[in-house]
Amino acid sequence: MRIVFAGTPGFSVPCLTALLEADGMDVVGVVSQPDRKSGRGMKLTPSAVKQAALDAGMDGQTDIITPDKLRDNDDALAWLQAKQADILVVVAFGMILPKPWLDAPSIAPVNVHASLLPRWRGAAPIERALLAGDQQTGVCIMQMEEGLDTGGIYAQQVLPITDQTTGSELWFKLSPMGAELLINTLPKIATGLLPEPQTADGQTYAKKISNDERIIDWNKSAAEIDRLVRCFSPRPGVRTQCKGKWLKLIAGEALSCSHQTRTGSIISTDHGLDIACSNGSIYRITTLQPAGKKAMAANDFLRGAQLNAGDDLD
């Protein structure tokens, strides 16, 4: 089975690695986004997928392309068509594929999507499932079409979400889960497995996460804030302001007790930073990171912070 793989971040790498190692599958080409400047020195750095392909011995000149766009890019399309792929596998590529790309593989264009479609179509399905308080998520192997994550489903696998689940935990579980499901499903697709159309009910859109969403709004409930912290901890993290300086929240918990004071104010500093939230709920910050310093226990921070009950966080 001749396969062209399109992907960009680290989430995509287990799928690529599994395809490279699987019997009966020949990865004849890899498409990824262009190299980006990163790090303190702003050095031009390949994507995780491109680097994985290079490490596997693929030729960076003929086997790998990193176009800055796909639409109206005749050279990139000619490269794809010359590969004569049976399957085009797409995993978190980050670009919309135009119809000529979807039509290029002889069998099907296939996407590994990190949600239980039709719930959370779009760019940030892992984060949106956790932020919404979903009790489960998973991965789907779907047939790609011109609509955004609207194609039929070949296979799916469910992963529970608990009150302790973090975004990074979901990321590191769903990625290999998707790789295993992909390897098990591709031979079935090649021998005639047809996708099941998505249901009309339950469609939601997982829009891209904005920077503003990672700033704590203490007018939300403690449960919502707890999900927000777990979603983005430790990186990139969520922030609040304390006396005009940013604090990154690393860990905490929603408490079962209640309050009758204004949201955002400190209720207690006895066992961490207990903050008043909406509906009388309380969120306890247990680990945080002041700007320019390392992460520390909230109690250690409080020894030098001169904060008292009644002070406000913004």
Residues 158, 77 within the same domain: yes
pLDDT of residue 92: 97
Q: What is the DSSP string of 38-84?
A: ETTTTEEE--HHHHHHHHTT--TTTTEE--S--TT-HHHHHHHHHTT
Answer with the one of 206, 223, 250 that is the final residue of a domain.
206
Answer with the one of 150, 184, 206 that is the final residue of a domain.
206
Using 50, 70 and 90 to split pLDDT, how confident is the model at 158? very high
Answer with the one of 187, 206, 225 that is the final residue of a domain.
206
Residues 6+ apart with CB under 8 A from 204: 118, 119, 120, 121, 128
Q: Which two tokens stand for residue 122?
A: 């779009």
Distance CA 166, CA 130 (A): 8
pLDDT of residue 305: 86
Percentage of residues in the chain having pLDDT higher than 90: 89
pLDDT of residue 114: 98
Render pLDDT for 84-132 as a digit per residue (tens, 0 to 9). Answer: 999 999 999 999 999 999 999 999 999 999 999 999 999 999 999 999 9
Residues 138, 174 within the same domain: yes
Residues 75, 161 within the same domain: yes
Residues 40, 126 within the same domain: yes
Residue 108, phi then psi, degrees to nearest 5: -170, 150
The verdict on residue 314 lying in a domain is no
Total number of domains in the chain:
2
Distance CA 84, CA 34 (A): 23
Residues 169, 295 within the same domain: no
Residue 260, phi then psi, degrees to nearest 5: -135, 50
Render pLDDT for 175-230 as a digit per residue (tens, 0 to 9). Answer: 999 999 999 999 999 999 999 999 989 999 999 999 999 999 999 999 999 999 99
Identify the CATH number of the domain in which residue 7 sits.
3.40.50.170
Residues 53, 168 within the same domain: yes
The verdict on residue 148 lying in a domain is yes
